[in-house]
Chains A and B, each alone.
Chain A
Amino acid sequence: MAAKLILSMNGAVVKEYPLNKERMTIGRKAHNDIVIDNLAVSGEHAAVVTIMHDSFLEDLDSTNGLEVNGTPTKKHFLQNNDVIEIGKHKLKYINDQITQTTSADFERTMVMRGPVSQAPQGAMKAGTMKIPASPNQPADGEVVERTGRFDAQATAVPVKAAASAPARPAQGDSGKIAVVQILTGPNAGKELELVKNLTTLGKPGLQVAVITRRPQGFFITHVEGAKFPLVNGQALANQAHQLSDHDVIELAGIKMEFYFKG
């Protein structure tokens, strides 16, 4: 299912254009693939170059320029739901490949045969986005050799991926920021916000523990050093230990408290 552009004016849809060519031009003159007959639109206003599943928008030195999502632009890597504005006309870019196919199918590695890989390189070395001669829509069966097969077996793979795909590790407790505050030693009182996925306590080569941020919460793990860190007076085992609000960690004689802020 190819990506498409939906042309609209004053909120009313005028026409849909599937991006089924490598290069589609947008302009006032009749030879364009997408013709917008309005004096604010240049003869050849813009082009959309599509390589496999990705599309790139390029301004062809138009008089009045382009905006994408309200920002003037010369060149833009289009993302699903982007809105291109040319004068009073809007073109919405729809590319919902991931929801169209099962992600297990989509993520499969595919091999492109030799001539395909040569062509874009040669064509792009010119430094412009002008027509990479050969890469094409996957519909063009010869061009891409899909080595995976996706029938009964493949669809049996849980489609859970779609839901978990954009998942970035959560903030732990409903968006609260986790903090470690040092309680003893020369740095007593200092706070360390756990904003990274992995926070190192101690010094590599000597005594190290890490706190990792995971979808389920925050975990402390002993990495190296003679002594295992203590959590609420208990030495850690070899596994990661999930931290709770107001746990007291002791590492190399320094006490610190883990808690959620805000």
Chain B
Amino acid sequence: MCRRPAGVIMKVQDALEMICQTHPGAVRSHNEDSVACEPACGLVVLADGMGGYNAGEVASGIAVSVVATEVSHSLQNDSPIRRDEETGDEYGVLLLRDNIQRANAAIYYAAQSQPQYAGMGTTIVAGLFYDNRLAVAHVGDSRLYRLRGESLETVTRDHSLLQEQIESGLISVEDARLSKNKNLVTRAVGIDAKVATEIHVHDVQVGDLYLFCSDGLNDMVEDEDIQSTLYAMQGNLPLAAEQLIQMANDNGGRDNVSVILVKVKGGFSAPGGWLSRMLDWFRK
């Protein structure tokens, strides 16, 4: 099977299929999740806000719009694979880090200045697809899963008390489902003046299916059911997204549930990247 793009290089928006869906769930009246897809630059952003009254929606809304708008705007004039001279980081990674920091500041100052927003914050998970890779930035317990072939893997590790307990061996993964300490995040955007964003870059293969979700999905639906849904429905992403949300609601739907699905249909190496340069060289 051909994993690498052969000859034809697609633009990122032609190489990816994206679906964004969000639902308040079966219990809550407010939807504090926010989602955005920017197919033109290969960007997706999902945030799960927290705070009284509508502050959660405000926080997740600020985070998603700042990151989606700023990153896609910056990428109109610059390439995500350019290396920053100072840090040596790729521009794509820097953009995610800087703009999550920017969103953090915006939420933090709004919370400081307006009493009804005091203490609001949000999780975030953002993915930027470029040059056959995926840069993933996350804060809190919103997740990224990857279906490759038949196997489903969690790409991000939650910033939560429970995840820390799992990693330290205090509690097993199986027992973790019984814990009453779910929903305790150890990091969030907008709570302090600065935020520590975790960013990793992963290689992408043609055929991969990525699922970004809020904890309203993975708290209500077993990984096994997420896997079987993604595998069976990978040919019909809108239906897959609908099915995931429906399963969360059938199981109680106690939280807002958001899913973003991204299917990799072809290669998308960046212009100026090593692969396209090599192919150009062969064409001469």
Report chain B residues within 8 Å CB of A197: 225, 228, 247
Q: Are A205 and B161 in contact (CB under 8 A)?
A: no
Query: With contacts A147-B120, A149-B52, A161-B252 known, is A77 near B175, CB below 8 A?
Result: yes
Q: Are B27 and A158 in contact (CB under 8 A)?
A: yes
A157 to B24, CA, bound (A): 12
A144 to B174, CA, bound (A): 26
Q: Are B170 and A108 in contact (CB under 8 A)?
A: no
Q: Does B40 contact A (CB under 8 A)?
A: no
Task: Identify B50's interface contact among A53, A148, A169, CB under 8 A.
Answer: A148
Query: With contacts A107-B183, A198-B232, A205-B235 known, is A214 near B53, CB below 8 A?
Result: no
Report chain B residues within 8 Å CB of A111: 50, 121, 184-188, 191
Q: Does A87 contact B (CB under 8 A)?
A: no
A-B interface pairs (CB < 8 A), number: 167
Q: Are A77 and B178 in contact (CB under 8 A)?
A: yes
Nearest to B251 among chain A residues (CB) is A167
Query: With contacts A148-B51, A168-B251 known, is A95 near B180, CB below 8 A?
Result: yes
Query: Using an 8 Å CB-CB cutoff, how does the interface string of A104-117 with B read, 1 for contact, 0 for none?
Result: 10011111111011
Report chain B residues within 8 Å CB of A125: 168
| B229-284 with Cβ < 8 A to chain A | 229, 231-236, 239, 243, 246-247, 250-255
| B135-192 with Cβ < 8 A to chain A | 140-141, 161, 164-165, 168-171, 175, 178-188, 191-192
Q: Are A109 and B141 in contact (CB under 8 A)?
A: yes
Q: Are B161 and A77 in contact (CB under 8 A)?
A: no
Report chain A residues within 8 Å CB of B57: none
Q: Does A237 contact B (CB under 8 A)?
A: no
Q: Does B28 contact A (CB under 8 A)?
A: yes
Q: Are B186 and A147 in contact (CB under 8 A)?
A: no
Q: Does B10 contact A (CB under 8 A)?
A: no
A187 to chain B, nearest CB (A): 19
Q: Are A145 and B178 in contact (CB under 8 A)?
A: no
Q: Are B191 and A109 in contact (CB under 8 A)?
A: no
Q: Does B131 contact A (CB under 8 A)?
A: no
Q: Does B80 contact A (CB under 8 A)?
A: no
A114 to B193, CA, bound (A): 13
Nearest to A52 among chain B residues (CB) is B181
Q: Are B164 and A110 in contact (CB under 8 A)?
A: no
B positions within 8 Å CB-CB of A: 26-29, 48, 50-53, 55-56, 119-121, 123, 140-141, 161, 164-165, 168-171, 175, 178-188, 191-192, 215, 225, 228-229, 231-236, 239, 243, 246-247, 250-255
8 A-B interface contacts by CB (under 8 A): A54-B171, A109-B183, A148-B50, A160-B27, A161-B27, A197-B225, A210-B233, A212-B247
A positions within 8 Å CB-CB of B: 51-54, 56, 77, 79, 95, 97-98, 103-104, 107-114, 116-117, 120-121, 124-125, 127, 129, 135, 144-145, 147-149, 153, 156-158, 160-161, 164-165, 167-169, 196-198, 200, 204-205, 208, 210, 212, 214-215, 221, 223-224
